[in-house]
């Protein structure tokens, strides 16, 4: 048995706990039902300001119409694959590219042809209606609002308490296994399911945030240098409870009491949060750009370092859709010299997972099988025990 084991957890591991699926979030994004925009620019669930007069939210109506036009193009692009369903991550990625092109934040000559194609169909969105407050709209503004709209729906949808956590017992049992010297948990989930489970089990862990200072735990990656506790949690795509406090210092923190909007600075001054959105990564290929800066660069570095120290990676609930993460996995799995790297995938239908995976993974799949670096526990996580996972590891080592 390897001395250290790591888990890579995707959104599928939260669904048994009552968290919404990608399809459910996408349906809300595409319909806009029950979504409104606050005066502070943040979208939330509720009735618009003038709902009593039968007037819809002018932002939501416009953004939904814009996203539906993008949806048509994305769906046509993936029409060769009947199993590929457009989701909110795709919509965010395309909307972000258009915004970057219009704003000038990122050169993308290909985006111009796309804009030229959809412009005739969305031009009517640029003129405010008689019952609307805003009279003029621009493409860059609508694209910006579209990214904010998706972003806010995602985090509000996921900022809920799970209904059940028993499905994660294999993580607890791995922690309690005397043959395991350390446990690393890499998660791509924005929700707080894994933290709630660890806290409920009394498992101490390092998550990159220091001790509370006036009720806020601030990001401090140096805590990963501590040898104890021997459980590390890396939330590689951010979290619904990470907010930017003390904006001038770009200090990311977690409010201990969960009330993130009002806080005291490290000097004791009472302030209101300037940016009322948590730190998340949403989208597809745009995530790779963000892996190189700020808190995500720290997390990405810790991922690489942690992978070098582990001999076994247990993957669950992840569809291998993140190109940046996939490349790290392939590099790690193929880097073994004196030690075999082992990947155990928990999934009831591994071949279906292989078909949906990005090429960098699907192209390595059979090679890993032949070299006995890849094995499966063909169950859902709620039915997979640590003993079964451990048995699969032993067969490979």
pLDDT in the model for residue 2: 62
Per-residue pLDDT at 48 = 76
Q: Give the helix ranges, DSSP H, for the chain.
A: 22-31, 58-77, 88-103, 110-122, 139-158, 169-176, 193-201, 286-290, 294-308, 323-333, 350-356, 359-370, 386-396
Tell me which fold the domain 4-19+162-241+284-396 belongs to: Rossmann fold (3.40.50)
287-331 pLDDT tens trace: 988 898 999 999 999 999 999 999 999 999 999 999 999 999 999
277 in helix, strand or coil?
A: coil
Residue spans of the domains in the chain: they are 4-19+162-241+284-396, 22-158
pLDDT at 149 over 70: yes
pLDDT of residue 216: 93
**Do residues 150 and 282 make contact, with C-beta atoms less than 8 angstroms apart?**
yes
No. of H helices and E strands in the chain?
13, 14
Residue 32 — left, alpha, or beta (φ > 0 → left; ψ -120 to 50 → alpha)?
A: left
pTM of the full structure: 0.94
Structure tokens at 14: 């939260």
pLDDT band per the 50, 70, 90 thresholds, residue 114: very high
CB 325 within 8 A of CB 10: no
Contact 221, 298 (CB under 8 A): yes
Binned at pLDDT 50, 70 and 90, residue 135 comes out as confident
Residue written as tokens 């924005």? 190
């Amino acid at each position: 048995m390897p001395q250290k084991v790591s888990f890579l957890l995707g959104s599928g591991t939260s669904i048994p706990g009552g968290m919404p699926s990608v399809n459910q979030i996408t349906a809300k994004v595409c319909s806009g039902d029950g979504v409104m925009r606050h005066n502070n620019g943040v979208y939330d669930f509720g009735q618009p300001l003038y709902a009593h007069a039968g007037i819809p939210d002018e932002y939501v109506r416009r953004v939904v119409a814009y996203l539906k036009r993008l949806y048509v193009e994305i769906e046509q692009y993936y029409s060769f694959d009947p199993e590929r369903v457009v989701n909110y991550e795709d919509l965010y990625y395309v909307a972000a590219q258009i915004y970057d092109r219009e704003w000038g934040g990122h050169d993308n000559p290909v985006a111009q042809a796309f804009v030229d194609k959809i412009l005739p169909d969305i031009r009517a969105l640029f003129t405010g209606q008689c019952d609307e407050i805003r009279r003029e709209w621009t493409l860059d503004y609508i694209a910006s609002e579209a990214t904010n709209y998706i972003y806010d729906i995602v985090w509000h949808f996921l900022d809920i308490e799970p209904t059940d956590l028993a499905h994660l017992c294999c993580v607890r049992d791995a922690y309690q296994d005397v043959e395991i010297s350390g446990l690393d948990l890499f998660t791509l989930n924005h929700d707080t399911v894994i933290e709630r489970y660890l806290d409920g089990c009394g498992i101490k862990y390092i998550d990159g945030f220091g001790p509370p200072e006036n009720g806020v735990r601030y990001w401090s990656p140096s805590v990963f240098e501590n040898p104890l506790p021997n459980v590390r949690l890396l939330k590689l795509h951010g979290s619904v409870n990470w907010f930017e406090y003390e904006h001038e210092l770009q200090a990311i923190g977690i409010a201990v009491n969960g009330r993130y909007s009002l806080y005291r600075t490290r000097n004791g001054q009472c302030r209101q949060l300037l940016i009322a959105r948590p730190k998340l990564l949403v989208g597809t290929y745009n995530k790779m750009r963000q892996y190189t800066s700020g808190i995500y660069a720290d997390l990405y570095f810790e991922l690489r370092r942690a992978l070098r120290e582990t001999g076994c990676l247990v993957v669950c609930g992840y569809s291998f859709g993140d190109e940046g993460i996939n490349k790290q996995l392939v590099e790690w799995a193929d880097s073994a010299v004196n030690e075999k790297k082992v990947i155990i995938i928990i999934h009831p239908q591994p071949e279906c997972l292989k078909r949906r995976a990005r090429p960098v993974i699907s192209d390595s799949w059979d090679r890993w099988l032949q070299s006995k670096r890849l094995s499966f526990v063909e169950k859902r996580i709620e039915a997979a025990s640590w003993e079964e996972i451990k048995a699969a590891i032993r067969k490979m080592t």
